[in-house]
Every structure is written in C-alpha cells, then in structure tokens.
Amino acid sequence: MRPERSVRLTSGLARGARGATAILFALILLPAISSRGAAGTPQAAAASTYTAQSFLQELARLKTGLVSARKSPEVLSSLHQSLPATWPVDAGGRHFEVSTGRLASHLQRAEKDPASRDGQLDQAATYLDALAAETASISRETAANTDSAQAKLDAILARPEYARTRERTWRERLQDRINEIISEALSRILDRVGGQRSFGLALLWIGICGAAILIAFWIFRQWVGAARGQEMALAAAAVPVQSWQEWIFAAREAAERADYRLAIHCAYWAAIVRLQDLGSLAPDRSKTPREYLRALTKCKLLVPETLPAKEQALSALTSRLEKTWYGYQAATEADFRDSLNQLETLGCHLP
C-alpha cells in the first residue's frame, strides 16, 4: 500500500470518528436542552415565596382572570400556562407548598370542553375562595397568638425585678430620687454618730422601735376609748325609755312570775327615772350604776337633811342590782320587798 493512500485513509477515519463523536454529543445534550427549555416556561418556573398577604393578592388576581377567561379561550390558556407546580407560602410561622394541581385540572377541562367551561371555572373560583379563607384564618390565628404573647411579655416586664428593663415613669423616678436623698441623709447622720456606723444603726433601730411602740400604744388607747364609748352607748340603748310608774308596774309583774332578778332590775330603773324627774340626776342614760351614785352624792338640789337617806337608798339598790343582775346571784322575794322600801325613800309613792 502506498504511503499517500495510507495517509488519506487514516485522515478519513479520523474525520469520521470526529463526526460520530459530535453526533453522539449532540444526542446527549438534546434532552438536557429540551428540559431546560421546558423549565423556562411560565408553568414550570419556580415561583417566589409568598407571604399570607401577597398570596391573597395572587388568589384575587387569578379569580379576576377567571372572569376574563369565560369570554376568551386565549386568556384561559394563558392563565393555565402561567400556573406554577406549587405555590410556596410562608404564613403563621410555617412554610406551605400549596399544589396548583386541582386548579390546573379545572382550567384544562375548561379548555378541552367549551360546553362545561362555565361549570369548571365556577369550581375553580370556589377553590380559590377556599384557599383565600384558609389563608386568612391562619393569618388571624397568628395575630391572636402574637397579641397573647405580647400581653404575657408585658406582664413579665411589669414585675419589680424587671423594672430596669422598661422606661420608668416620672413618679417612679421621683420616688427613687426621694429614697436616694433620704438614704444619703441617713448615711451621713449615722457616719457622724460616734464615728461608728454600727453604733449609729443601733441608735436608729432603737428610735424606730420606740416610735413603733408609741404609735401602737396610742392606737390601743384610741381603740379602748372607742370600745368603751360604744359599750356605754349600747348599754344605754338597751334600757327602754319609760316612766317610773311603768318601771314599778313591770317590776311587780316580774315578781308575780317569781322572776325577782328582773323585778330588782326594774325597781332600780324606776328609782333612777324618779330621781331624774325630780332633777336630782341629769337625764343621761350612758352612765353606769356607780356613776349615777356618785352623781347623786354631788347633787346640790337635794335638801341636806334628806341627802344621806337618799344616798343610802340608791346605794342599796345599786349594790343589789350589781349582785343579782350583773353578778347573777339568786334574788329572793325579801330582796324585792327591800327594793320597794328603798323606792319609797327615793320619792316613789307606791299605791
């Protein structure tokens, strides 16, 4: 074989191999180019992530497009091809991949069957409304949860231990300033007392305890005085207002029932009312029996000759009343008869 022919054969084989390689490479790249072209169509293009608000706007746009698609097959086809595979939505702190398959199915049927177009588009609109309602519900739940969390956070920050983390009011700042001034003044005073802070603190606490004791003693005296006044008022209110004759009538009724304790009580008050009628005692029902007796002793309206007898009679009635009425000692008919005799001495003329 000649060298020239061999060279031509070799070069031909090389060109054939290069051509076959180019064809094989083209066959490999063709599907990839085709798939890339398909991915570049609006239907397969990856959509950007929607928020709840922007997704509601997209659903409203699609629903408006359905109205135009009823009259124009071109608009219907364009609307169908513009749908992505899914709608990525971030709502309520979560991520959703909302499929467009159901909506695309209604649009495809509407394209293929013009007779059922209106029905399919109605179903598509209903589906969009359902998606919009669900998205709005998730948004409301998120807002409610956010408000609740904010309220809990505000309640936590309102506690005293977090007072420094929030802006203080002018009243709180004024109170802090007053406390600071008082603290500094006390600190200076304690430093000057004896030259020792511990001794100054001891004196301060002694003063505080003394002031507390004085305040407690004053409150106790006020309470005791008020209680005593109330007791005297109640005791006075417990004695009904009657004439001395009515008191004697009540005493005799009680004696007929053998209730001599009550009879002596009524006889005593008959004597007091009679002395008040005569002007020997002031008409004051708040006095105790011993106070009535002292008041009679100091009376200047009685004749000096009769004063000792009246004092002795009222003293006997008072003593017997204290023993039987307040001391719950047994009273007898003789005690009651003696009380009537004392009433005669005090000016009660018994029938």
| 206 inside domain | yes
| 285 inside domain | yes
> What was the pLDDT predicted at 293?
86
| 70 inside domain | yes
* Contact indicator for 154, 147 with CB cutoff of 8 Å: no
Mean pLDDT of 3-7: 42
| One domain, residues 99 and 69 | yes
285/132 Cα distance (integer angstroms): 86
166/188 Cα distance (integer angstroms): 32
342/336 Cα distance (integer angstroms): 10
Coil, strand or helix: which one is 86?
strand
| 145 inside domain | yes
Instruction: Output the DSSP codes for 18-29.
Output: HHHHHHHHHHHH
Range from 61-65, 159-163, 200-204 carrying the lowest mean pLDDT: 159-163
> What was the pLDDT predicted at 264?
93
Domain boundary among 92, 121, 154: 154
CATH number of the domain bearing residue 100: 1.10.287
**Tally of domains in the chain:** 3
Q: Sheet containing 50-51: give its strands across.
A: 50-51, 86-91, 94-99
* Contact indicator for 120, 79 with CB cutoff of 8 Å: no
| One domain, residues 173 and 146 | no
| One domain, residues 213 and 254 | no
Return the closest-CA partner of residue 313 out of 272, 265, 261, 259.
272
pTM: 0.35
224/250 Cα distance (integer angstroms): 35
> What was the pLDDT predicted at 230?
59
Q: How confident is the model at residue 190 (pLDDT cuts 50, 70, 90)?
A: low
Q: Is the pLDDT of residue 73 over 50?
A: yes
Place of tokens 């020792």: 196
* Contact indicator for 69, 110 with CB cutoff of 8 Å: yes
Is the Cα dihedral 333, 339, 344, 348 positive or negative? negative
> What was the pLDDT predicted at 265?
93
More confident residue, 111 or 269: 269
Q: Which two tokens stand for residue 233?
A: 């008022």
Mean pLDDT of 257-285: 88
Adjacent-strand bridge partners of 89:
50, 96
| One domain, residues 58 and 123 | yes
| One domain, residues 250 and 331 | yes
Q: Is the pLDDT of residue 206 over 50?
A: yes
More confident residue, 175 or 15: 175
Alpha carbons within 13 angstroms on the beta-carbon side of residue 284 total 13
Mean pLDDT of 143-163: 63
| One domain, residues 227 and 180 | yes
Average predicted confidence (pLDDT) for the chain: 75
| 91 inside domain | yes
| 12 inside domain | no
317/304 Cα distance (integer angstroms): 21
> What was the pLDDT predicted at 262?
93
CA angle, 81 then 86 then 87, to 5° = 105
Cβ-based burial of 127 (10 A; exposed 0-12, middle 13-18, buried ≥19): middle
| One domain, residues 193 and 251 | no
* Contact indicator for 48, 69 with CB cutoff of 8 Å: no
> What was the pLDDT predicted at 33?
35
Q: Rounded to an integer, what is the distance from CA 184 to the centroid of its chain?
A: 37
Contacts of 113 (CB under 8 A, 6+ apart): 120
CA angle, 116 then 120 then 124, to 5° = 170
| 177 inside domain | yes
| One domain, residues 138 and 201 | no
Alpha-carbon distances, residue 62 vs 41, 87, 174, 239 (angstroms):
18, 13, 61, 94
| One domain, residues 341 and 244 | yes
* Contact indicator for 154, 165 with CB cutoff of 8 Å: no
Q: Is the pLDDT of residue 26 over 60?
A: no
| One domain, residues 194 and 251 | no
| 21 inside domain | no
246/230 Cα distance (integer angstroms): 27
Range from 240-249, 261-270, 337-346 carrying the lowest mean pLDDT: 240-249
Q: How confident is the model at residue 337 (pLDDT cuts 50, 70, 90)?
A: very high
| One domain, residues 248 and 333 | yes
Mean pLDDT of 283-303: 79
Q: Is the pLDDT of residue 91 over 70?
A: yes
Q: Is the pLDDT of residue 3 over 50?
A: no
Range of the domain at 295: 239-345
Q: Is the pLDDT of residue 260 over 60?
A: yes
Mean pLDDT of 201-210: 79
> What was the pLDDT predicted at 187?
73
| One domain, residues 105 and 124 | yes
